Amino acid sequence: MTAPLRDAHPAGPGRGLPDTQQGMRRRNLARVMHTVSAEGPLSRAAVASRIGLTRAAVSTLVDELIRSGLLEELGPERPGRVGRPGSALAVSGRGPAGIGAEVGVDHLAVCAVDLRGQVRTRSVRHGANRGRAPEPVIAELTSLVRRVVAEAESEGLWPAGLAVAVPGLVARDARTVVRAPNLDWHDTDLGTLLPEDLPLTVGNEANFGALAELWLGDGTPHDFLHVSAEIGIGAALVVDGQLLRGTRGFAGELGHVPVRPDGPRCPCGGRGCLEQYAGEEAVLRAAGLEPGEDRVGLLAQHAADGDEAVRGALREAGQALGIALTGAVNLLDPEAVVLGGALAGLAPWLLPSLRDELARRTAGPACPVSVSGLGSQGPLLGAAHSVVRAVLDDPAVVGERA
């Protein structure tokens, strides 16, 4: 069925769907879900005061959500104040689940996350996928998905959708991989290869990582730039809590921002792109290391051991990142820059020169640069959570099935 999970509520007045009472109801159901999900167990009265509706209205909304299995009544609250205690409501731990999947260069991973945001099942398979054809890889992924779905179902969950994180550019249809250099995939429509009974969303790994940071990060603002380096160097731009995708869905190509316009040639056609200084290959070469298996781990290891060549290479990579990010920060004025993915592990050696370069080139106070706490889990979690968010954003759709 492949329902459109995203963009259900376009912004701006005048545009968008006609405003009928059903739409109103749907939005109010979503408000209740978001409020309960974000602020823990809450009584009906508390929800009502937060979203600005009356207790009576919230009562009927909650009834509907409980009938759909999206909310649960936990029983009476501990009475601390005067007055009748409310009945605590919480997001259900047995309703729909978001299935997240990740196609990495040398692993596959799938997990199921319930509406509460808890990871309930997880399944990983190691093994290099570089250069393998899409069909066998996706077949393997499909079997992992089926296993995770089965386990989730045995815990009383049912899958509301599947989101797949891929290390490459994904078209705006959220189904076809336009280009994944590290897998050597081109124009591959995953919609035809994955189980068809689940609404599917395919997305860029870095984008899902950024969303994970937005939704799960501790103190992450909702205007930031998330930089990661799995496939080349990618940035995900989050503006006002929304991912900026670009016309063709290619936004965030930080790796090909010119750093030194007369620098070395880049396969993209340009010269002196960031990737020529801070890309994996470039850093390994500058560090004098052979490209091998776990290349990022290798770099971190050597850097930690005090290898000066490696440290110098990372210092210069940080500097190049700082230059490119200066441009990005000047253009976008984000609240923060967050380093994620592989960069997070190398942060100790990248950050000093990066911050230095950024500060030197900024007039006022420099944009704060932090490191993601999610590590390599970001993309997978972001994918799974994107399905969960879609349910919270429009509970009515899912309510029909339960």
Partner DNA sequence: CTATTTCGTCATGGCGGTTTACAAATTAGT
Partner DNA sequence: ACTAATTTGTAAACCGCCATGACGAAATAG
Stretch that binds a copy of itself, among 118-126, 181-189, 231-239, 379-387 (CB under 8 A): 231-239
Which 8-state DSSP code applies to residue 206? Answer: H
Q: Counting contacts by CB under 7 A, is residue 336 touching DNA?
A: no
Q: How big is the site for DNA, counted in residues (CB under 7 A)?
A: 33
Q: Counting contacts by CB under 7 A, is residue 295 touching DNA?
A: no
At its nearest, how many Å lie between DNA and the CB of residue 91? 16
Tokens representing 165 are: 């994180």
What residues does 337 pair with on adjacent strands? 225, 369
Name the CA dihedral angle for 51, 54, 59, 60, rounded to a multiple of 10 degrees: -90
Angle between helices 341-360 and 205-216 (to 10 degrees): 80
In the list 4, 17, 40, 84, the residue contacting DNA (rule: CB under 7 A) is 84
Within positions 29 to 68, which residues make up the interface with DNA, using CB under 7 A? 43-46, 52-57, 59-63
At its nearest, how many Å lie between a copy of itself and the CB of residue 389? 9
- Residues 66 and 73 sit within 8 Å (Cβ to Cβ): yes
Q: Of DNA, a copy of itself, none, which one does residue 22 interact with (CB within 5 to 8 Å by kind)?
A: DNA
CA angle 284, 285, 289 (to 5 degrees): 60
- Which residue in 76, 116, 75, 68 sits closest to 92, CA to CA? 116
At its nearest, how many Å lie between a copy of itself and the CB of residue 273? 8
At its nearest, how many Å lie between DNA and the CB of residue 46? 6
- Residues 32 and 230 sit within 8 Å (Cβ to Cβ): no
Q: Counting contacts by CB under 8 A, is residue 60 touching a copy of itself?
A: no
Which 8-state DSSP code applies to residue 124? Answer: E
In the list 71, 141, 148, 235, the residue contacting a copy of itself (rule: CB under 8 A) is 235
Q: Counting contacts by CB under 8 A, is residue 393 touching a copy of itself?
A: yes
Toward a copy of itself, which CB reaches closer, 104 or 203?
A: 203
Q: Counting contacts by CB under 7 A, is residue 87 touching DNA?
A: yes
Within positions 191 to 220, which residues make up the interface with a copy of itself, using CB under 8 A? none
User: What is the 3-state composition of the chain as percent helix, strand, coil, each rounded to the nearest 5?
Assistant: 40, 20, 35
Q: Of DNA, a copy of itself, none, which one does residue 87 interact with (CB within 5 to 8 Å by kind)?
A: DNA
Toward a copy of itself, which CB reaches closer, 82 or 363?
A: 363
In the list 43, 326, 376, 386, the residue contacting a copy of itself (rule: CB under 8 A) is 326
User: H-type helices in 124-247, by residue range?
Assistant: 134-154, 205-216
Per-residue binder mask for a copy of itself (CB under 8 A), 120-139, x = binder: --------------------
Within positions 242 to 261, which residues make up the interface with a copy of itself, using CB under 8 A? 242, 244-254, 256-261
Q: Of DNA, a copy of itself, none, which one does residue 146 interact with (CB within 5 to 8 Å by kind)?
A: none
Toward DNA, which CB reaches closer, 46 or 254?
A: 46
CA angle 64, 67, 70 (to 5 degrees): 85
In the list 22, 305, 363, 400, the residue contacting DNA (rule: CB under 7 A) is 22
Tokens representing 215 are: 């939704």
- Residues 356 and 389 sit within 8 Å (Cβ to Cβ): no
Q: Which residues contact 224 (CB under 8 A, 6 or more apart)?
A: 210, 213, 214, 238, 334, 335, 336, 337, 338
Q: How big is the site for a copy of itself, counted in residues (CB under 8 A)?
A: 73
In the list 10, 12, 14, 21, the residue contacting DNA (rule: CB under 7 A) is 21
Cα 370 from Cα 219, distance rounded (Å): 11
Q: Counting contacts by CB under 8 A, is residue 14 touching a copy of itself?
A: yes
Burial class (CB in 10 A: 0-12, 13-18, 19+), 84: exposed
Which 8-state DSSP code applies to residue 91? Answer: E
Toward a copy of itself, which CB reaches closer, 282 or 296?
A: 282
Stretch that binds a copy of itself, among 27-35, 88-96, 145-153, 184-192 (CB under 8 A): 27-35
Give residue for tokens 């009974």.
Answer: 197
Toward a copy of itself, which CB reaches closer, 31 or 311?
A: 31
